[in-house]
Amino acid sequence: MFDFKGLLKIIQDKTRRDEIKTSLAHTEPKINSELPKNLKDTEDLVKGLTIEQAIKFILWNGLWNQYGIFGDKREEARIFKEDKEGNLVEKDYYSKRYGRGKLLSIDFGVSNIGRELSYVHTGIVIDDYPSIVVVVPMTSKKDSGLNNISDEIKKCIIPVLKKDYPEIKEDSYILTHQIRAVSKNRITKIVGSIARTKLMEELEEMLFSRQTPYIKKLKNEQIEALEKRISDLEKQLQSLTKPQLTN
């Protein structure tokens, strides 16, 4: 186990503030002594995984080393070379723009914590920016672990049947509580689209209800006020059109 407190003490040392922001890591003895311990902890962890889990970890770590926050390619497009039917085709998803409702295959990685989504899942595009896309993830029913989550989270889940949406490989759940912004370098494939479908409308309504409750409250109040106004006007109209009794 590495010395967490010792490293944190260096970060918190105000007298070394400028030094630790500019000097290279190899000049700090504490890092030279603690880094091998940290890497050994990681090695032991990976060796205790299944073969599949370990391979996914190694592949993701290699990707993070290149395109992660400290990688030398962090601002570059990730290029895919797909070997299909014997042909190599280069693809760049980083520089493209994606419309609302687009279905993308997203690699959420293996370095997430707790119930944060990991591995590759389909994401539904909610918004698009240069190099970043906001998505709501989906997961297959068999991988959802629905029995182990709280009732509150279950209220945020939308079921999707393959028979209704053939572009989706199997019956799935939309996880609106896992909405997030991700780098376009996490995109591994364009799956399809649910734009202008009943499912997209249901998703929009769920996001409106769960993510913007105050705005929903204001809209409901406006609707109620308009309904009352209409009712009052109808009563006034009825009184104006009601035949007047004469003596």
- Block means of pLDDT (10 residues each) for the chain, length 247 residues? 92 95 96 95 97 95 94 90 65 92 95 90 97 96 74 90 89 95 95 95 92 80 90 86 65
In this predicted structure, what is the pLDDT of residue 2? 85
Choosing from 180, 195, 211, the residue where a domain stops is: 211
Running DSSP on this structure, what letter comes out for residue 138?
A: E
In this predicted structure, what is the pLDDT of residue 217? 81
pTM of the model: 0.81
For 202, the 3-state DSSP assignment is helix
Q: In the structure encoding, which two tokens stand for residue 98, read together?
A: 């994606």
- How many domains are there within the chain? 2
How far CA 178 is from CA of 139, 153, 181, in Å, comes to: 11, 10, 10
In this predicted structure, what is the pLDDT of residue 244? 62
Same domain, yes or no, for 50 and 107? Answer: no
Same domain, yes or no, for 200 and 113? Answer: yes
Residue 26 CA to residue 34 CA, distance in Å, equals 11
Residue 79 CA to residue 86 CA, distance in Å, equals 18
How far CA 71 is from CA of 34, 35, 61, 167, in Å, comes to: 21, 18, 11, 34
Same domain, yes or no, for 61 and 104? Answer: no
Residue 64 CA to residue 68 CA, distance in Å, equals 4
Same domain, yes or no, for 205 and 114? Answer: yes
Q: Is residue 90 part of a domain?
A: no
In this predicted structure, what is the pLDDT of residue 115? 86
In this predicted structure, what is the pLDDT of residue 161? 92
Q: Which amino acid is at 148?
A: N
State which residues form the domain around 100.
95-211
Residue 236 CA to residue 231 CA, distance in Å, equals 9
Distinct helix (H) and strand (E) counts, the chain: 7, 9
- Contact predicate 183/131, CB 8 Å: yes
Running DSSP on this structure, what letter comes out for residue 71?
A: S
Q: Phi/psi zone of residue 23: left (φ > 0), alpha (ψ -120 to 50 degrees), beta?
A: beta
In this predicted structure, what is the pLDDT of residue 247? 55
In this predicted structure, what is the pLDDT of residue 80? 78
Q: Which residue has the tokens 């080393």?
A: 65
Same domain, yes or no, for 34 and 140? Answer: no
Same domain, yes or no, for 151 and 197? Answer: yes
Q: Is residue 44 part of a domain?
A: yes
Residue 101 CA to residue 135 CA, distance in Å, equals 9
Exposed/middle/buried for residue 210 (C-beta within 10 Å: 0-12, 13-18, 19+) = middle
Q: Is residue 111 part of a domain?
A: yes
Q: Is residue 139 part of a domain?
A: yes
